[in-house]
Chains A and B, each alone.
Chain A
Amino acid sequence: MEVADFCSSSRVMIVAGKGGVGKTTVTAALAVTAARAGLRVLVVEVEGKSGLPAMFGAPPLGYEELDLTASVRARFLTPDAALVDYLENHGMRRISRRLAASGALDVVATAVPGMKDILVLGKVKGLEAGRTADLVIVDAPAAGHAITFLTSARGLLDAVRVGPIRTQAQDVVDLLSDPTRCQVLLVTLPEETPVSEVVETAFAVEDRAGVALGPIVVNQCFAPLPAGVTADPDAIRADAAACGRFVPDREARDLADALAFRAERHRLQRAQVDRLAERLPLPRIELPFVFTPDVTRPQLDLLADALTAGIGAL
């Protein structure tokens, strides 16, 4: 599939996954990928302290949109601010700020479970309708919150029978359940627990939220050793001798140990990717392990290359 087709197959993409799987990194790389295909992208962060702007060398996000690159913008969406927006759009401008400032949101949100998620997703729907971006990428909350985040609108439809919040929830359900408007990309790692959890999440999200799942993004995959390379100090010394270099014993051992580690992790990861393939009949995109704990623009470009290749193979 062409990247441009993939990125415009739905105007909203929600990137979800358990904490620590690199959801925000995938969000950023997806934004770069879509921008390269000529799309105007808006990234929406819903949790505090996002590492996303730093990856682009930008300051922390606020409620206002911020340019990360020429065609990637980002903003932060809090339930409080979304509530103020919502009230203002529903003829309650006078009371909206006071309601938010008095801490009453906590009371209201508590009285109506899922209210915060509806407000945030309702705002995302507004951004989609506003058409100021070709693609809106939402970096969803981590962990079990992702399932709640995606299912609360449906739950609310059962709980609240009338009123504007019901309308809002219905709008959100319509958005989430229409694969031409919205799809969810689940991110996971090629490790035992993350694989088990993404399988559970995938079924929960499809059954309970009725959302369309895009490909599963398997992050941090080790490449296999290049052909002919073995984790053997003797082979390394032989290769060195063949090209007229001297490699001290100790260095040969370090080189071999590092190769052995990579080969072993690659083997373990493949077993988990196979398990994922067996248990979840969805296409997968694999992203390479990035050898720096800091992701900045060069790493994002590398990941965007991999995403482009992965999308191309879909």
Chain B
Amino acid sequence: MSIGALVAERRVIICCGSGGVGKTTTAAALALTAARRGRRACVVTIDPARRLADTLGLAGLTDQAAEIDPALWAIGGPDLVPGGSLSALMLDTKSTFDRLVTRNAPDPEQAARILDNRFYRNVSGALGGTQEYMAMEKLHELHDEGGFDLIVVDTPPTRHALDFLDAPERLLRLLDNRIFRLLMTPTRVSMRVASVAVQTFLHTVGRVVGSEVVDDVIEFLRAFDGMEEGFRTRAGAVGALLADPGTAFVLVTSPRRDAVEEATFFAERLAEDTRAIAALIVNRVHPDFGGADPSGLRATAAALETATEPDPAARRLGAAYENLADFRSVAILEREHLTGLRERTADVVYVPYLAHDVHDFATLREVGTLLTDATA
């Protein structure tokens, strides 16, 4: 599907890919494009570079969507359609988690007990997958309550680019962990049966990290008792939103081999879940200069440079051929890398190596135009 159609029709776009490929910039450019085309768009960013954050009005950490003054971005042009709005927020994992707890707790006292717990304070910021889960939780919240036509989500730069897909399940798995369950339900018969194993476990953990930590964990789990159901329902709803036909996955990559490998892995995983990649965006593609064969160019360069008495003109010309050969090799190899990945998606957009950094609305708009024109 073309990028133009995606930003015009979908309700959720999730940008995925490995770190350093320009995911955040791409997400911001897509949201801006939608806003300029008259939609109410919101971009959810995770870790924007400072100048982009400033542009999007994210200088202070707020995890509420804030509308950006149209005077800043709705600058005239043929692509500008009235009626759009642009909002942005930077994910704050902890406050999103806090709200989830408050919402699910049966009473304010229980919520307070959890929020004050030392273990919870560590969990909410640091647990592997928490950030991913909270990104999806925030998406769900915005989708239900934000009044947006389109939400574009930047995914966290995780070690495993897929973590956010699994995040709801991982949280549930943690709650389902055998030891957790035993700790959480001390009155069950199973507790008595397993108590020796549990005691041994707790003793070991206590020996390693100190018994205070163990006490914190137990207290947290007891405070959490009765709330799993709410969490489970919520995780189910988040999963359903990800599977909704209004949700599009856009894969962002660079043509470097490791980034393409990660992107391919991602595409395979999405395919397992019968989710298609709506579009593939390849950033930082080197320009291609003509169609000459690099080895021919290199041979010419070599012939010019290894002449017995190369004069300055031959040396200069040789350097020019060598340089063209270098760029032709890069162009060919970059396209080769992408072959397998290209077969997995209908639309591929190549974004050239840009001469400048993208951190203001003018350059974001330029990226948006590149993205939409390329598949027009």
Using CB atoms and an 8 Å cutoff, list the residues of chain A in contact with chain B: 18-21, 24, 47-49, 51, 87, 90, 92, 95, 99, 102-104, 106-115, 141-145, 160-166, 191-193, 196-197, 225-226, 228-229, 235-236, 238-240, 242-243, 245, 247, 250-251, 253-259, 261-262, 264-265, 268, 291-294
Contact = CB atoms under 8 A, between A and B. Distances in A.
Contact of A225 (B177, B201, B319): B319
A111 B356 CA distance: 44
B180 A294 contact: no
B125 interface: yes
Contacts of B256: 20, 293
A102 B324 CA distance: 57
Interface string B106-132: 000000000000010011011110000
Nearest to B176: A103
Interface residues of B, number: 74
Contacts of B258: 24, 51
Given A110-B127, A142-B19, A226-B316, 19 more contacts: A21-B20, A49-B265, A87-B208, A92-B208, A106-B177, A107-B174, A107-B177, A107-B205, A115-B209, A141-B159, A164-B208, A193-B357, A225-B319, A225-B323, A226-B315, A229-B320, A242-B313, A245-B317, A258-B327
Interface string B299-342: 00000100000011111110111011011011001100100000
A243 B311 contact: yes
Nearest to A83: B208
A111 B217 contact: yes
A190 B327 CA distance: 19
21 contacts: A49-B262, A90-B208, A107-B174, A110-B119, A112-B209, A114-B126, A142-B20, A143-B47, A143-B157, A164-B208, A229-B320, A238-B313, A239-B317, A243-B304, A247-B317, A254-B324, A258-B324, A268-B356, A292-B333, A293-B255, A294-B333
Contacts of A114: 126
A18 B19 contact: yes
B126 A257 contact: no
Nearest to B303: A245
Contact of B312 (A95, A102, A142, A228): A228
Interface string B229-262: 0000000000000000000000000111111011
